[in-house]
Structure 1
Amino acid sequence: MKRSIITGIALAGIAALVATRLPAADDAAIILPGTAGTTLAQEQKALRDARRQSVEAADRSVRLERQAGMARDEAEQAGRRAAAMAARIQQAEADVQAAQARIAIIARMQRAQAARLAARQEPVVRLTAALQMMSRRPLALALVQPGSISDAVHMRAVLGQVLPVIEQRTAGLRAELDRSRAIRATAQQAADALTNSRRALTDRQAALRQLETQKRVAARDYRANAGLESERALALGEKARDIVDLMDQLEVASDLRDRLAQLSGPMLRPARPDRAGAPAPDRETLDSGPPPYRLPVVGQLVTGMGEVNDGGVRSRGLTLVTQAGAQAVAPTAGRIAFAGPYRGYGQILIIDHGQGWTTLITGLHRVTAQVGETVRQGDPVGLTAAQGRPTVTIELRRNGRPVDIVPLVGLG
């Protein structure tokens, strides 16, 4: 009887050692706000995209700094330096986004590691409890009871078979503990990288504010009539039925301005009118392709062109989720046609690129560009909200028709 009890205890310990049940992962353990429900593939893609955006922004910063060094006047130099700093800000934003994605991946690894560690610890704990129960039996009682010696011999044989398994499992447990320490160290490195990226972002934002002040001082005479143009744009905004009508009216004004600019000036009277030929016909403007384009903000794409949102409206552009207080820049060169609040869209920006091309940016918290101002690609034009996860929508239009941005920016 006692032999069967002892054998049962030992077999229970062996059964516990070979158990492979894993506890369920805790979804609430994701430490990044807003990432619950994401898959590992999505987090890895977010990490790759953020790293790519960081590299691209760094390259733009170097190129713009080089252009600033070759600027012809103080105003152009200030503008190029502000654009270079805006690119460095977007680089820091991408680094923050990459660090957040990396932390999310590491948090997932930590949950999986905790599950494996618990699976290896559980049978060892159960076997230890069984052995402790056996050890509480007094030694003197084991010597005087009949069959105790034979039971002890039998137990020794059983333990001789169990001990190699115990050694193997404890070695695996030690390896899992080492892996847990390595993951914990990686998590600390990712947290440090996030802190450093945020500190760099704050410093660069302060530097950009100083550069924008210098830029405004250098160009104050150039934009002396900006107030009048801004009033005209706001008046159009009040008359427009909706944002599409507003863009149509601005496009009509842009076409009129382009046609006036293309008119030839007065011709001088020739010295021999009888020998003067007929004036050359006006050249028609060639149909140009899309301008060199890039996304104005760094972020994650959440809505593509043609997709239907929760309100049942089909999107005419791209919507991105950005960091709080993200920097927005001009996607390509153009003239600011509208800048300011508009009917529930937040602060919006409409940039006229000429020849029928216009860009609409909605969801901004603050617009730093002024109506009538000429901007180059990469010039800072606004900021998103300083809290939460702001969303920015970008629409590109050609003669009033929406154009898919994805092929132009390489997201396809």
Structure 2
Amino acid sequence: MANKVISKTACLLALALLLSVASLLPTHAQTQTKEELARIEQELAAQKAAAQSLEKKEKATEEEIEALRDKLIAASENLQDKGNQQEDLETRLVALEKETVLRDTALKESRKRLALLTRLLIQFSRQPAEVFVLREQSPDDHIHRTIVLRSMLPRLREETSTLAKELDNYAQLQNQTESQKRLVTAAQQNLQWQRHNLDEMIKTRQGRLQKTAAEKEALARQLDSLTNEAKDLRQLMEKVSHSSWNRTIGKSTPARKGGAKSPIKMPVAGKIIRNFGDKDDFGIVSDGLTLSAPAGSPVIAPQAGRVMFAGVFRGYGKAIILQHDGGRHSFMSGFSRIDADVGQNVTGGEPLGILPTKGEGKAELYFEWRQGSQPVNPI
């Protein structure tokens, strides 16, 4: 934009100089000067029109990006909700399947008991009356046998009734399980569509903010140098917060909404499995939160900020550092894919990437919030 202003100024100076000299020139020379003036005026008009067109395009792009951001935030929130709903549906399905196995075992035991009682009754019923008359048994034995037979009948009725109820319950449970499977399948398809929709919008956003190949290559070299120099996270945070790094990563993308007064959002919709200040498996006190979320969940910006680092860092895997207003920074690691570029401004709630999907690893995110160089609890 500065070069355009200098070019316009130069043209205007040239025009003024030609006008001042024109009166001193002969008629033929004045004709040539008028032609030169007309050419310069045409060039000025063309440059002005080009500048206005470029300004309109830039404004339209900014408006498009802003509208896209709002859609991305809404889509990310919806996808997080859908992911949690999917997890709940799958948990319910697992519980139903376990209950089905238990009911099936109980049903088999009831059938065995009923079969045993039925077999005993059949054996008694098949013996003719003469057998009991001819056998040398006391009347007490006959009475005892009769009592036993009569006592078995209520038990048989009870077992039959129990089995009938268990069969009915088992059938209902199977229907519930099949219905739950259909819900899970439908939810999975919807979730896949939502993810595809979000991915397409992210591609559109990144396309509007696209850096040139040369800019990307230069920035990649700078990032490699930065990660090699930083021995730990503290050093990395110090380096990216330095003003020289802001100059290195160049002009930022269109301004973001929100600031220091905006509430801090959780980067993923999940459960906190390790709190700030808790010790990890190695006995080291955690400077942040570790969150577990559904596989493939989107990771969002906790607050409006600028992407200062996006890449792989030692021991943390794929990570992002955001710079926020008021000298604050956030650090997030555990990404399967990063969808933001260094130097990009983001709004709170805007997607930055995704967690590992099923089969890729644990869907866990480490989230750290710093005031200056000091880690603080984000909640």
The two structures have a TM-score, normalised by structure 2, of 0.69
In structure 2, the partner of 1:4 is none
Which secondary structure state, in structure 1, belongs to the residue aligned with residue 148 of structure 2?
helix
In structure 2, runs of 5+ residues without a counterpart are 1-60, 248-258
Equivalence map 1:124-143=2 (5 Å): 124-135=114-125, 137=127, 141-142=131-132
- Identity over aligned pairs, percent: 26
Equivalence map 1:43-54=2 (5 Å): none
Equivalence map 1:339-378=2 (5 Å): 339-378=310-349
2:354 is the counterpart of 1:383: yes
Q: 2 CA distance for matches of 1:172 and 1:394?
A: 54
Q: 2 CA distance for matches of 1:168 and 1:345?
A: 63
- Which of residues 70, 78, 81 is equivalent to 1:80? 70
In structure 2, give the amino acid aligned to 1:163: L
Which secondary structure state, in structure 1, belongs to the residue aligned with residue 314 of structure 2?
coil
Q: 1 CA distance for matches of 2:228 and 2:245?
A: 21
In structure 1, runs of 5+ residues without a counterpart are 1-70, 258-287, 408-412
In structure 1, the partner of 2:153 is 163
2:68 is the counterpart of 1:100: no
Which secondary structure state, in structure 1, belongs to the residue aligned with residue 329 of structure 2?
strand
In structure 2, the partner of 1:40 is none
In structure 2, the partner of 1:398 is 371
State the Cα distance separating 1:314 from its structure 2 match. Answer: 2.2
Which piece of structure 1 moves more, 237-246 or 362-371? Answer: 237-246
Q: 1 CA distance for matches of 2:329 and 2:307?
A: 10
In structure 1, the partner of 2:264 is 293
Q: Would the alpha carbon gap of residues 118 and 78 (structure 1) be closer, same or farther in structure 2, given more than 3 Å must change?
A: same
In structure 2, the partner of 1:322 is 293
2:279 is the counterpart of 1:308: yes
In structure 2, give the amino acid aligned to 1:390: A
Q: 1 CA distance for matches of 2:115 and 2:264?
A: 62
Which secondary structure state, in structure 1, belongs to the residue aligned with residue 348 of structure 2?
coil
Q: 1 CA distance for matches of 2:245 and 2:229?
A: 19
Equivalence map 1:177-256=2 (5 Å): 177-220=167-210, 232-253=222-243
Alignment deviations for residues 315-370 of structure 1 (CA, whole Å, 9 cap, x no partner): 22222333333321212211111001111321101111121221111111221101
The alignment yields a C-alpha RMSD, in angstroms, of 3.3
Q: Would the alpha carbon gap of residues 332 and 225 (structure 1) be closer, same or farther in structure 2, given more than 3 Å must change?
A: farther
User: Higher helix fraction: Structure 1 or Structure 2?
Assistant: 2
Q: 1 CA distance for matches of 2:93 and 2:319?
A: 33
Q: 2 CA distance for matches of 1:310 and 1:163?
A: 62
Q: Would the alpha carbon gap of residues 333 and 297 (structure 1) be closer, same or farther in structure 2, given more than 3 Å must change?
A: same
Q: 2 CA distance for matches of 1:296 and 1:189?
A: 33
Q: Would the alpha carbon gap of residues 291 and 401 (structure 1) be closer, same or farther in structure 2, given more than 3 Å must change?
A: farther
Figure out how many residues of one structure are paired with residues of the other and give that number.
306
In structure 2, the partner of 1:282 is none
Q: 2 CA distance for matches of 1:289 and 1:382?
A: 23
Contact 2:117–2:156 (Cα < 8 Å) also in 1: no
Q: 1 CA distance for matches of 2:211 and 2:318?
A: 26
Q: Would the alpha carbon gap of residues 290 and 303 (structure 1) be closer, same or farther in structure 2, given more than 3 Å must change?
A: farther
In structure 2, give the amino acid aligned to 1:106: L
In structure 2, give the amino acid aligned to 1:239: E
In structure 1, give the amino acid aligned to 2:282: G
The two structures have a TM-score, normalised by structure 1, of 0.64
State the Cα distance separating 1:94 from its structure 2 match. Answer: 1.2
In structure 1, give the amino acid aligned to 2:193: D
In structure 2, give the amino acid aligned to 1:342: F
In structure 2, the partner of 1:334 is 305
